[in-house]
């Protein structure tokens, strides 16, 4: 399958969020990425439900929602109602991970599990059959504009081997420091979904940057 591109609205101009969504709608992007932060699991606060609902009204692409919050189980149904198509929770924030991802799927969303840079992919061995996607954080979560952690390549390759060896249909997504300089190498390593924020919305021509990420050209 061709790789997907999911521009992250965390790096967009919040004063012109509708314009940013419109640009993504008209681009070659596949999804729209939304990072939800609570100021507890990570030292930052981002979008709430009213913003997600507003984005959903104008978005023509599926909403790819990543929860960087404690106790995400409290809000799964609300994120589904707000318009999330994919819902990714942090491995480190879930006490009963199997229960959480099962409920996400029962609500009709694709279930993802995200790993912080220090968390080994081997910990996912028993949960892989129950999820649709793994998000490898290639920076420490919380803020945009950070530098890509090079050790992430080893994690991606290890995870790709784990998935392929078991014949599972699971997407590998990466987020953090993704741009046109490393996109091709990441896809070659086994990545299926590129999340890009600052490199897209900080560029002179965001739609063209998305095109380059999508075509690797």
Which residues carry out catalysis?
Answer: 35, 175
Which residue blocks in 120-151 are alpha helix, DSSP H? Answer: none
Up-side HSE of residue 64: CA atoms within 13 Å toward CB?
28
Of residues 111, 109, 151, the one with CA closest to residue 135: 111
Segment 100-104 long-range contacts (CB within 8 Å, at least 24 positions apart): 100/72, 100/73, 100/76, 101/127, 101/130, 101/131, 102/130, 103/73, 103/76, 104/76
Distance between the two ends of the chain, CA-based, in angstroms?
17
Edge-to-edge strands, sheet with 171-175? 4-7, 193-196, 171-175, 133-137, 110-115, 84-90, 63-68, 32-37
Residue count of the chain: 217
156: phi then psi, degrees, rounded to nearest 5: -60, -45
Give yes or no for a contact between 113 and 124, defined as CB atoms under 8 angstroms apart: yes
Residue 146 carries which DSSP code?
A: P
């Amino acid at each position: 399958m061709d790789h997907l591109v999911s521009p992250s609205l965390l790096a967009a101009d919040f004063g012109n969020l509708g314009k940013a969504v419109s640009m993504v709608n008209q681009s070659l992007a596949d999804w729209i990425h939304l990072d939800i932060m609570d100021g507890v699991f990570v030292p930052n606060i981002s979008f709430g439900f009213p913003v997600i609902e507003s984005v959903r009204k104008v978005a023509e692409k599926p909403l790819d929602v990543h929860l960087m919050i404690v106790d995400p189980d409290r809000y799964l149904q609300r994120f589904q109602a707000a318009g999330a198509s994919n819902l990714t929770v942090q491995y480190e924030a879930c006490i009963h991970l199997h229960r959480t991802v099962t409920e996400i799927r029962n609500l009709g969303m694709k279930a993802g599990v995200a790993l912080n840079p220090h968390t080994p992919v081997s910990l996912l061995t028993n949960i892989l059959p129950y999820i649709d996607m793994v998000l490898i954080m290639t920076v420490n979560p919380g803020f945009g504009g950070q530098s890509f952690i090079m050790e992430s390549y080893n994690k991606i390759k290890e995870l790709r081997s784990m998935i392929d060896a078991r014949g599972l249909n699971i997407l590998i997504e990466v987020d953090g420091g993704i741009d046109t300089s490393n996109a091709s190498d990441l896809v070659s390593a086994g990545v299926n979904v590129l999340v890009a924020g600052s490199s897209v919305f900080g560029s002179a021509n965001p739609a063209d940057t998305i095109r380059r990420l999508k075509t690797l050209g």
